[in-house]
Amino acid sequence: MEMQMRAGLILFLVFMILQRGEGQLSENFYQTTCPNVESIVRKVVAQKFNQTFVTVPATLRLFFHDCFVEGCDASVLIASPNGDAEKDAPDNLSLAGDGFDTVTKAKSAVEAKCPGVVSCADILAIAARDVIGLAGGPPFAVELGRRDGLVSQASRVAGKLPEPNFNLTQLNTIFATNNLTQTDMIALSGAHTVGFSHCNRFANRLYSFSPSSPVDPDLDPTYAQQLKQACPQNVDPSIAINMDPVTPQKFDNKYFKNLVAKKGLFTSDEVLFTNTASKPIVVRFSKKQNHFNEAFITAMRKLGRVGVKTGKAGEIRLDCAAFNS
């Protein structure tokens, strides 16, 4: 009987540990092994930010793309000589090099002080938090303890990331897959306040929306004209447009004010306001910066727990672009 009880208890503990997965992250994970990790990363990120503002959207987007494919495990950072790693997938080809460079430089600085201790996944998570602060966004604590993944394949990316033409149902579905609510999704979309996009991601809204209306009627006509001037047909594919035309280098709630004014760049942005199911949240965030900040922090912390590897899973990569041999 005692044996059965002990076996039952062990099974229960195993079950609880498996359930905890996310709970194995903690804000003071490196307290004894690399106590200054956050200040080391912050210094590098600040230096990179001073060189180019692109550091902000590039690092944020890198974190988001990493977490939605294989979980937050730095799989997006792997470089393959065959061009078949996660970052080589069509949906990831537009990830700006400044995001990768930020993590590479931060990793080098951390390795110099704490060799073989801090994962690339955690460095990316810290850097993503830091760029938000540098752009004027809210401060928050980052949970740490992720390990780096052992899989990075371009073929596993399709269907895992939201597309610029998604409707609300499609957006909610893909975020729910990652344990994120509609409010989380809308808050995270607010990161577009410091984002930029290439013209081909929204050209259909300007030139070929529908047979009866080449321009999307949900676009403010003046804004549509400005976009057409910046993105003429057959424009250089490297041309990029600020997603927030008002305060493009400030992390604020202007993105939501823009949606209310029909100045959302993507269909997947504007639909948040035009759909009655999500509209009240957009309106609330547009009026109350603190409500957006609080929801954004909650969503970022939840995003950082998606599919994490902890304990003995994965590895601590020595070079963020390559698996340990």
pLDDT in tens, 77-119: 999 999 999 999 999 999 999 999 999 999 999 999 999 999 9
The CA-CA-CA angle for residues 98, 102, 108, to 5°, reads: 140
Q: Does residue 192 carry a catalytic annotation?
A: no
Query: Quick one: average pLDDT of 242-256?
Result: 97
Query: Quick one: average pLDDT of 213-224?
Result: 96
Type of residue found at 29: F
Predicted confidence at residue 189, as pLDDT, reads: 98
Predicted confidence at residue 24, as pLDDT, reads: 86
> Which residues contact residue 312 at a Cβ distance below 8 angstroms, ignoring those fewer than 6 apart?
none
Percentage with pLDDT > 70 across the chain = 93
Could you read off the pLDDT of 160-214 as tens digits, one per residue? 999 999 999 999 999 999 999 999 999 999 999 999 999 999 999 999 999 999 9
In the block, tokens 């047979």 appear at 211
Residue 21 and residue 308 in contact, taking contact as beta carbons nearer than 8 Å: yes
> Which residues contact residue 135 at a Cβ distance below 8 angstroms, ignoring those fewer than 6 apart?
53, 56, 194, 249, 250, 251
- Residue 67's pLDDT band, with cuts at 50, 70 and 90, is very high
Closest CA to 311 of 23, 12, 100: 23
Predicted confidence at residue 23, as pLDDT, reads: 46
Predicted confidence at residue 2, as pLDDT, reads: 53
Q: How far apart are CA 271 and CA 222, in angstroms?
A: 19
Tell me the β-bridge partners of 315: 148
What are the φ/ψ torsions at residue 308 (nearest 5 degrees)? -70, 145
Q: Exactly one of 65, 192, 198, 291 is catalytic; name it.
A: 65
Q: What is the mean pLDDT of the chain?
A: 93
> Which residues contact residue 309 at a Cβ distance below 8 angstroms, ignoring those fewer than 6 apart?
71, 73, 121, 146, 147, 148, 149
Predicted confidence at residue 175, as pLDDT, reads: 98
Could you read off the pLDDT of 3-56 as tens digits, one per residue? 555 555 554 544 444 433 444 899 999 999 999 999 999 999 999 999 999 999
The string of DSSP letters for 13-39 reads HHHHHHHHGGGG-BTTTTTTT-TTHHH
Residues 17-29 as b/e (b if ≥16 CB within 10 A, e otherwise) read: eeeebeebbeeeb
Query: Quick one: average pLDDT of 221-236?
Result: 96
Predicted confidence at residue 16, as pLDDT, reads: 44
Predicted confidence at residue 4, as pLDDT, reads: 55
Tell me the β-bridge partners of 322: 319
3-state per-residue secondary structure call for 274-305: HCCCCHHHHHHHHHCHHHHHHHHHHHHHHHCC
